[in-house]
């Protein structure tokens, strides 16, 4: 393992907590007075709790790279596709210019799952990480991403009230 390369951490699966774990690492990194950039793929609402809290922190930048709503039809797909490509380019730019200590690519694996980005896109980005640690989150990473990971954690849903109520709770899901 090349020690001058940043670590790759992957949080994936159908369970809750992928974004929360990623933000926990961001907080830990900030606690050491290091720089963090978060790029949230497939998310475009500025009203989420994490966005509201994180947007004004020193040493942290957060960028929304998704449509305000879910991917549900061809029109929303076009917006999500455009935003995902912008997010990927932003991630490349951040690695080229800003060299943060931690780059969180929240829900980027969903962008791959829905065909907005490819596994090749992510592998290419990870290969350019230099000393920056990178966190990827989402549903189903490909084998090459797992192979490149220094830490990979699968989060499995055991139970969620959404299945019975179809409702969400501020502070829990958003």
CATH of the domain at 82: 3.40.50.300
Q: Look at phi and psi of residue 134 and say left if phi exceeds 0, alpha if psi is from -120 to 50, else beta.
A: beta
Domain that holds residue 157: 8-165
Reading the chain (174 residues) residue by residue, the pLDDT tens digits are 446 899 999 999 999 999 999 999 999 999 999 999 999 999 988 999 899 999 999 999 999 999 888 888 888 899 999 999 999 999 999 999 988 999 999 999 999 999 999 999 999 999 999 999 999 999 999 999 999 999 999 999 889 887 888 888 887 778
Examine residue 170 and state whether it is found in any structural domain, yes or no: no
Examine residue 173 and state whether it is found in any structural domain, yes or no: no
Residue 168 CB partners (closer than 8 Å, separation 6+):
162, 174
Examine residue 174 and state whether it is found in any structural domain, yes or no: no
Q: How many domains does the chain have?
A: 1
Longest dimension (CA), the chain: 48
Q: Which pTM does this prediction carry?
A: 0.91
């Amino acid at each position: 393992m090349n020690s001058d390369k940043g670590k790759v951490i992957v949080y994936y699966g159908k369970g809750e907590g992928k974004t929360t774990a990623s933000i926990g690492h961001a907080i830990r990194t900030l606690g050491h007075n290091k720089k963090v950039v978060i790029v949230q793929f497939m998310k475009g609402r500025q009203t989420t709790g994490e966005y509201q809290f994180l947007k004004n922190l020193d040493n942290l930048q957060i960028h929304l790279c998704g449509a305000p709503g879910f991917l549900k039809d061809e029109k929303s797909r076009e917006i999500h596709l455009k935003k995902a490509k912008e997010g990927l380019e932003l991630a490349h730019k951040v690695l080229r210019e800003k060299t943060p200590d931690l780059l969180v690519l929240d829900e980027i694996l969903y962008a791959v799952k829905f065909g907005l980005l490819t596994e090749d896109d992510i592998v290419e980005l990870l290969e350019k990480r230099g000393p920056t640690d990178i966190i990827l989150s989402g549903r189903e990473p490909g084998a090459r991403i797992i192979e490149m990971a220094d830490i990979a954690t699968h989060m499995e849903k055991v139970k969620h009230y959404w299945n019975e109520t179809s409702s969400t709770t501020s502070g829990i899901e958003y």
